Amino acid sequence: MVDWKRGARRLLYPAYEARMLRRMPGDIPKHVGVMLDGNRRWAKAVGRDTAHGHRAGAANIEPLLGWCDEVGIEVVTLWLLSTDNLNRPEGELAPLLDIIGEAVASLADQQRWRIHPVGALDLLPASVAEQLKAAEEATRDVDGMLVNVAVGYGGRREIADAVRSLLNESAAKGMSLEDLATVIDVEHIAEHLYTKGQPDPDLVIRTSGEQRLGGFLLWQSAKSEFYFCEAYWPDFRRVDFLRAIRTYAERERRFGS
């Protein structure tokens, strides 16, 4: 019975997805943040090790970016590794960092998207940080969607880094703390975020059924819409993505008014 249902879904979903695309409302988000959550739980559910889950999750990144291209999204931010994740046991962390590095390098090789690392790269092993920087440099002139890869990323750390950068910049200009305190506003801090110059995310998607931000884009997501999907990240499908976009488009965004 289960195999029959799966076979039916494989036959019916392409037509269903095509109909969803045709009927997609016009209000498409410009910037989508995605919390790629559930790799380890997916691996446990299928009886495999953690590294297998991370590899399956990495394999689902390129399809996601293709779906984003398909509907006209301009910026995507992928949360691949948090600052908290860096505290995982070395036996899990080292393979995960290798998988992330290989995945980002593969995206760069496609020459379809501009890669931009966001996170505290100084917290990462030097080889991984260099891999991320190389991907950014290799895609700098690509005329495609901007893809932020958040590795070693934490929202509180980002805000602290932004304030530190602002203070250093002001000191270099000879401005005193008292002078800075009289003029500082939210825009000054925004200009020093990892995503400076980019639109804030209109939509944040989190997989695996968890319904919390966990520190993802804390500053930027103040006015974002959120979509929580029950599927673990490796099982996240095109139809799930299209449902998230459709749900966003159907919402009335008031921005506090």
| Helices vs strands, H then E, count in the chain | 10, 6
Q: Is the dihedral of CA 82, 86, 89, 94 positive or negative?
A: positive
CA–CA separation, 209 vs 229, rounded Å? 6
Nearest C-alpha neighbor of 122 from the set 170, 79, 157: 157
Check: CB of residue 205 under 8 Å from CB of residue 34: yes
168 is catalytic: no
Q: Which of 60, 85, 161, 240 is catalytic?
A: 85
Q: Are strands 31-35 and 75-82 parallel, antiparallel or unpaired?
A: parallel
Q: How many Å apart are CA 113 and CA 96, to the nearest integer?
A: 23
In angstroms, the CA 121 to CA 129 distance is: 6
Annotation marks residue 49 as catalytic: no
Among 212, 218, 211, 224, residue whose Cα is nearest residue 256 = 224
Active-site choice (37, 200, 202, 235):
37
SS3 150: strand
Region of 251 on the Ramachandran plot (φ > 0 left; ψ -120 to 50 alpha; else beta): beta
> Would you please indicate which residues are annotated as catalytic (active-site) residues?
37, 85
